[in-house]
Amino acid sequence: MYSVQVWKMKRNKIAKWKTDQVKELESKIKKYKVIAIADLTSLPSLQLQKMRSSLKGTTELVGAKSALMKIALENVKGNYKGLEDLNKYFQGVASLILTNESAFILAKKLNDAKTAAPAKPGQLAPKDIVIPAGPTPFPPGPIISDLGKVGLKTGVEGGKVAVKEEKIVTKKGEPVSKDVCVVLSKLKIEPMELGINLVAAYEDGVIFDSDVLRIDDAAFKAKFASCASDAFNLTLALGYPTKDNITRLLSKAFKDSVFLADSKDIMTSENVKKLLGKADIQAEALKEEANL
């Protein structure tokens, strides 16, 4: 396995197919603005071919030895500020994904294409694996021992074994144990994700890792709506006019002006009848008090 430094020192002694492949990689990379690292570990070849076909036209999936891909990235770094930092994200069965679409659009496409799969012993958890609290379909028996092996608190409810407390049985990035796999299989929980795992992506001088690229659409929309609501309420409180709040501000200003006119007995076309009625009542009260 050649490092970038060794490659430069021994370039004349390296097999021609390797130098040709590096040049080909460089040529492909230069056509795109977004350069991503993906991990294809545990991805069946059939599914890989399907995903490659679905990405065709907007995105290119490029495979090669990790060392050669790193050298290619190093050689084109003059065209991409900070690109060399992407080399530290190579892991597993690494591949390059090249596209001119946004890194976040790429991440969403890859994530949407993933399918759930059962865990196998030794696989690394893609996220925290959680067993929720609640009933199971099993009567008291060996299942209690299986659940206990992974640290779950259990009880019997309605003749069935129930998990008393939610528990993370494997944290993100940790290998899944055999005991955990047994429990997950019995509870029909499939925590693994079959698909292309996007590790990091470079775009416009910035490298986004998988945690940043993984966006929960529902949570994002909820936060966006909350921010919009907060901004709207702030403009109302400050009396700052916008196209969205101008009707509310004018309505509020009108109500405030009516209240001010009423409280200070300032006659306007809106309150003239009300003030005259108030004056009439006060006059009648004064007449009674003066015995007139």
Residue 282 pLDDT > 50, yes or no? Answer: yes
Query: Under a CB-based contact definition with an 8 Å cutoff, are residues 52 and 98 in contact?
Result: no
Per residue in 108-137, pLDDT (tens digit) is 888 888 888 899 999 889 889 999 999 999
Q: For the stretch 78-88, what's the b/e string if a residue is b when 16 or more beta carbons lie within 10 angstroms of its beta carbon?
A: eebeebeebbe
The domains of the chain are located at 4-114+195-215, 129-192, 222-289
Q: Which CATH superfamily is domain 4-114+195-215 in?
A: Ribosomal protein L10, N-terminal RNA-binding domain (3.30.70.1730)
Tokens of 275: 């003030």
Same fold, 4-114+195-215 and 129-192: no
H or E element, residue 29 = helix 16-29
Sequence-ordered strand ranges (E) for 82-203: 94-99, 115-117, 129-131, 134-135, 154-157, 160-163, 167-170, 192-194, 197-203
Can you tell me the distance from the alpha carbon of 210 to that of 66, in angstroms, rounded to the nearest whole number? 19
Per residue in 50-83, pLDDT (tens digit) is 888 878 788 999 988 999 999 999 999 888 888 8
State in Å, rounded, how far the first CA of the chain is from the last one: 114
Q: How confident is the model at residue 1, as a pLDDT?
A: 46
Residue 212 pLDDT > 90, yes or no? Answer: no
Determine the average pLDDT of the residues in 152-166.
Answer: 93
Classify 18 as helix, strand or coil.
helix
CATH of 129-192, picked from 3.10.180.10, 3.90.180.10, 3.40.50.150, 3.90.105.20, is 3.90.105.20
Task: For the chain, state the CA radius of gyration.
Answer: 33
Per residue in 225-275, pLDDT (tens digit) is 899 999 999 998 888 999 988 998 898 888 888 888 777 778 777 777 777
Tell me the backbone φ, ψ of residue 144, rounded to 5 degrees.
-60, -40
Per residue in 6-56, pLDDT (tens digit) is 555 555 567 888 889 999 999 999 999 999 999 988 788 877 888 888 787
Total-model pTM: 0.60
Can you tell me the distance from the alpha carbon of 262 to that of 258, in angstroms, rounded to the nearest whole number? 6
Q: How confident is the model at residue 12, as a pLDDT?
A: 59
